[in-house]
Structure 1
């Protein structure tokens, strides 16, 4: 019985070690954060506003700083696509140019065709 207890403890320790290894790969970013940081950009993306606002660019910079890890960038990519699909009259041409106009370099194209699984 003692051997069985040691084996159980060893298995639990190994499982915890594996979980700790993968915990660093988990995304901390949520779609709620993506949506709220980019909300000031919706007017521009739909043509209701002719100019990018300071608040929009601030949100883009904030999102860029939040999405530093590969899992976070993948989540941001998926959330951006979901957000864009839910906005009527969105101009993806305008949307794709927003990061550059705000002085932010995004490591993936902002487009419906982007494969978020391949984002690094």
Structure 2
């Protein structure tokens, strides 16, 4: 689990987007979600706060695509199990947030408006 946390943080910290929302911001906002993605169970309130903040900050298509790319880049290089991916996919609904994209390695970020 610790290596998963380190890998996500490193990838997000090193990959900065051109949009107003940087990958560092994405990493900070989603860091509280890592334990849920890795293990399931309880979704921390701070995770939902981070997802809401990202959704609010990403107002343009470029911003949303950038956030999507940051997430996709971070999780794409990891050895995630189907359970980890399902946990990530379930986060927006569990937090009551309607994201315009799926939190998944298979998301086509270029198609987000």
**Which category of TM-score, normalised to the shorter sequence, fits these structures?**
0.7 to 0.9
Alignment gaps of 5+ in structure 2:
1-17
| Equivalent residues, number | 94
Matches of 1:56 and 1:70, distance apart in 2: 23
Matches of 1:89 and 1:68, distance apart in 2: 29
Alignment gaps of 5+ in structure 1:
1-25
Change (3 A) 1:88 1:113: closer
Q: Is 1:111 aligned to 2:108, yes or no? A: no
| Alignment RMSD (CA, Å) | 1.6
Matches of 1:54 and 1:87, distance apart in 2: 25
Q: Is 1:69 aligned to 2:60, yes or no? A: yes
Alignment match, 2:14: none
Larger-gyration structure (1/2) = 1
Query: Equivalent residues in 2 for 1:42-53 (5 A)?
Result: 42-47=34-39, 50-53=41-44
Matches of 1:88 and 1:66, distance apart in 2: 29
Matches of 2:45 and 2:104, distance apart in 1: 23
Secondary structure, aligned partner of 2:20: coil
Deviation at 1:85, TM superposition (A): 2.9
